[in-house]
Amino acid sequence: MIIMEDIYLNKLKKIAQEKGLAVVLGSRLTNQELTWKDLMSKVLLSFSEAQKELRCYTEEILEGDMPVEVFFRMLYQQTKDKKPSFLEAFQYQDTTFIHKQIAYLVKENFLHSLGISAVDNRLSLALKAASCASLENTTWLNGEISQEDFSESCLAVTNNKFNSLCPAGTRFFQQLESCEAVLVVGLFPGDFAWRSIYGYLTEYAKKNKTIYWVSSHELIPLTHIVSLSGGALINEPVSKVLKEIFLDSQAKLPAEFFQGSEEGEGQNISIPKKFSIFDEKETECCFFFASLLNFLMSRRKALDLLSIVITKSLQEKKYDLLAEAHRLTGKIFLEQGRLEKSIEEHIKAIDYWALCEDETNMAAEYTLCADNYWSGSAVEKSLQYYGEANSLYHRLEDNRGIAEVSAKLALICDSEEDYDLAQKYYTECLKARTNMGDHSGEIIAYVNLGNCLLKKQSWEEAKKYLENALELSEKFHDTFSIGEIYQLLGLIYMNFQEYTQSKVYYEKVYHFYQKEQDHISMPFVYCNLGHVCARLEDFDNAIKYYEQALECYEKMGDWQHLASVYTNLGLLYSNRCEYRTSEDYFSKAEEIFAAMGDIYNLIKTHTNLGKVYTLQGEMENAIECYRANMEMQIQLGDKQELANTLIAIAMVYLQTKQMDKTITHLQKAIALYDVLNLAEEKKEAAQILSIIQSKMANN
């Protein structure tokens, strides 16, 4: 364990003085505190005490690897209680010294940003006591229990995204790009949203940002992340660490910041011994246990409980719970690969939601049906059900539903190459995301629209949407789509033949993927840089980038792309009149395409080789390449390309003064163009033949 050594202390002091230090504050600041895991156990045991038939499942759930946020978000969905009683355990009456220290730092604007993973109210109490008015750089990553919209932002999770942060939490991590280091305090495995927060911090560490973790425990996740980032574990009391870091700021901080102590502070509330969430609601409790078992992959037991729920709900005429049970049964059947049975369950659920006059859930169920039909390649059915869902969401003015369903409709139309309809749905999705204030979703919608318009070759319009996406990405520090945006803008400027500007964007994406250590995307960037350098006649750099792409594809074993790069290098060296090197690269591409049985690319490669052999005066080799192409084109029935190959062979024979063979091949080509009604090509071939015959007659 690393102690508070001067090297780390001095670094942290310097970073803090420059306001480059961000803090992530957890909830486990003392040993006496109630943890989420403790609360989950107490709630679950309380249920099994009341429902004896569920006791046999309790131990399995407690021993399962269930994140606490999953448990409580499922419980919230099930109870539909806007003020869940189980959260009263986090309503503290007083704050702690550590929270007071943090409040002073926030008040004096000493921190770059502060993210609070805890949902309890202790920091709020400290901020109020410190008369701190501005909370501009302070974010509750999962919401705060005293906030009016806490339940909605923290616990009302859609589409089973149980491990996700609320939107404010996601934005907090996007804003860390501009800070220099992160100090993590009181955050440990098992905390609420631990997996998501740890995942964000890991990505942050990979970007060469330093993380310092205050902990007396040398846990593997903590040691991993600090070693990855070049930071350190600090085995000192939290209050002492904060005092040391901000020691040079004594004049600006109150004396209490340095004089107080965290010793003896801890839990100061009583925990209920029994939770009355499901009083006289045996069927609801049974459904909740089925949901937990399904999450833990114990699907057979979950289905057994759901069968009981369906029977009891029907008897009790609890149609909303009946619909929920059919929905979950449908999801389990889908996970088991029983697609038709899954659809049957979702259709039953639709009928019961209709009885409840619950259009929101009806729309969600239509969406699930459509998802299943789409998975089963029943495109028409999926379009029908998505359409029903979309109509309901529009009537409800539910922007989230509109955004999600219209995006799926757009993807289907895109895959079916109906780009006009895809554009309509992508636009609909964009409008809904904008209305929601969902900036990440808005960026993705702009990118999808740009991609769709590129397929329609509406280059200028695509550029406009992609530039909007880029502007939003930079404004909100959202880097999720920025690599794709740079690439697409590079492609657009390449099409405009503005190669210098195209290169600017490809170089941006090159540096971005290097920073992200995205080794999968790098070879595509190398290829694009190679293309644009070749067009700028910067052949040395073009070769360098193509060779870097080759190295990547060789490591990946991606033979298709490897052969394409060999082809590009062959063309480049051919343009430089280095025919022997060009021949070597085309030959390597030929071997791969032949081994893969890629006839179309093999024909193109033979054509390239034929041209190189001709330029080198190796006429027999050129003719051999073209004859190989003729055989494949005859098998494919590609008469137009066969005619083009006949012209190419005729030109080789012409150079070797084999006039009879030249004329014969030209005549065959002309006959094929005539059959195909290709008047322009026939005319050009006939003119060549006429000139040759005229010269022969004069001689």
Q: Which two tokens stand for residue 93?
A: 């009456």
* The most confident of 154-168, 220-234, 363-377, by mean pLDDT: 363-377
Backbone dihedral angles phi then psi of residue 361, each to the nearest 5 degrees = -70, -30
C-alpha to C-alpha distance for 548 and 525, rounded to whole angstroms: 10
Q: Does 259 score more than 50 pLDDT?
A: yes
Mean pLDDT of 241-249: 89
pLDDT at 537: 92
Under 8 Å CB-to-CB from 80, ≥6 apart: which residues?
A: none
SS3 of residue 234 by DSSP: strand
C-alpha to C-alpha distance for 605 and 562, rounded to whole angstroms: 14
* Mean pLDDT lowest among 148-157, 247-256, 412-421: 148-157
Rg (CA), the chain: 34
Closest among 272, 372, 378, 282 to 330, alpha carbons compared: 372
- Determine if residue 457 is left, alpha or beta; phi over 0 gives left, psi from -120 to 50 gives alpha, anything else beta: left
pLDDT at 3: 46
DSSP state of 23: E
Q: Is-above-0.85 flag for pTM?
A: no
Exposed/middle/buried for residue 195 (C-beta within 10 Å: 0-12, 13-18, 19+): middle
C-alpha to C-alpha distance for 221 and 615, rounded to whole angstroms: 62
Amino acid identity of residue 393, one-letter, is: Y
Q: What is the pLDDT of residues 330-339, one digit of tens each?
A: 999 999 999 9
For tokens 């070759």, name the residue: 457
- Determine if residue 437 is left, alpha or beta; phi over 0 gives left, psi from -120 to 50 gives alpha, anything else beta: left
pLDDT at 160: 45
SS3 of residue 622 by DSSP: helix
End-to-end CA separation in angstroms for the chain: 96
Strand segments, DSSP code E, in 200-291 are: 210-214, 232-234
Q: Which H or E element spans position 139?
A: strand 138-140
Q: What is the pLDDT of residues 358-411, one digit of tens each?
A: 999 999 999 999 999 999 999 999 999 999 999 999 999 999 999 999 999 999
| C-alpha 574, offset from chain centre | 40
DSSP per position, 158-202: -TT-TTPPPHHHHHHHHGGGG-SEEEEES--TTSTTHHHHHHHHH
pLDDT at 571: 95
Task: Tell which wins on pLDDT, 598 or 9.
Answer: 598
Exposed/middle/buried for residue 441 (C-beta within 10 Å: 0-12, 13-18, 19+): buried
Residue 353 pairs in a beta bridge with none
Q: What is the pLDDT of residues 51-106, one digit of tens each?
A: 777 888 888 888 887 888 888 888 887 776 545 666 676 777 888 899 999 999 99
For tokens 């289907």, name the residue: 412
* Mean pLDDT lowest among 174-178, 241-245, 447-451, 661-665: 174-178
pLDDT at 86: 66
Taken in order of first residue, the domains within the chain and their CATH numbers are 6-33+95-259 (3.40.50.1220), 281-376 (1.25.40.10), 397-469 (1.25.40.10), 638-699 (no CATH)
Asked if 77 and 156 count as a contact pair (C-beta separation under 8 A), the reply is: yes
C-alpha to C-alpha distance for 640 and 628, rounded to whole angstroms: 16
Closest among 612, 611, 607 to 627, alpha carbons compared: 607
Angle at 673 between CA 668 and CA 676, to 5 degrees: 130
| Pairing label, strands 138-140, 181-185 | unpaired
DSSP state of 94: S
C-alpha to C-alpha distance for 375 and 385, rounded to whole angstroms: 13
C-alpha to C-alpha distance for 165 and 534, rounded to whole angstroms: 45
C-alpha to C-alpha distance for 644 and 649, rounded to whole angstroms: 9
C-alpha to C-alpha distance for 329 and 349, rounded to whole angstroms: 10
* Average pLDDT taken over every residue of the chain: 88
Under 8 Å CB-to-CB from 547, ≥6 apart: which residues?
A: 569
Closest among 642, 658, 640 to 650, alpha carbons compared: 658
Asked if 174 and 115 count as a contact pair (C-beta separation under 8 A), the reply is: no
Per-residue confidence at 22, pLDDT binned at 50, 70, 90? very high
C-alpha to C-alpha distance for 125 and 92, rounded to whole angstroms: 9
Q: What is the pLDDT of residues 629-668, one digit of tens each?
A: 999 999 999 999 999 999 999 999 999 999 999 999 999 9
pLDDT at 325: 96
Q: Does 149 score more than 70 pLDDT?
A: no
C-alpha to C-alpha distance for 216 and 31, rounded to whole angstroms: 11
Closest among 380, 303, 304, 313 to 349, alpha carbons compared: 313
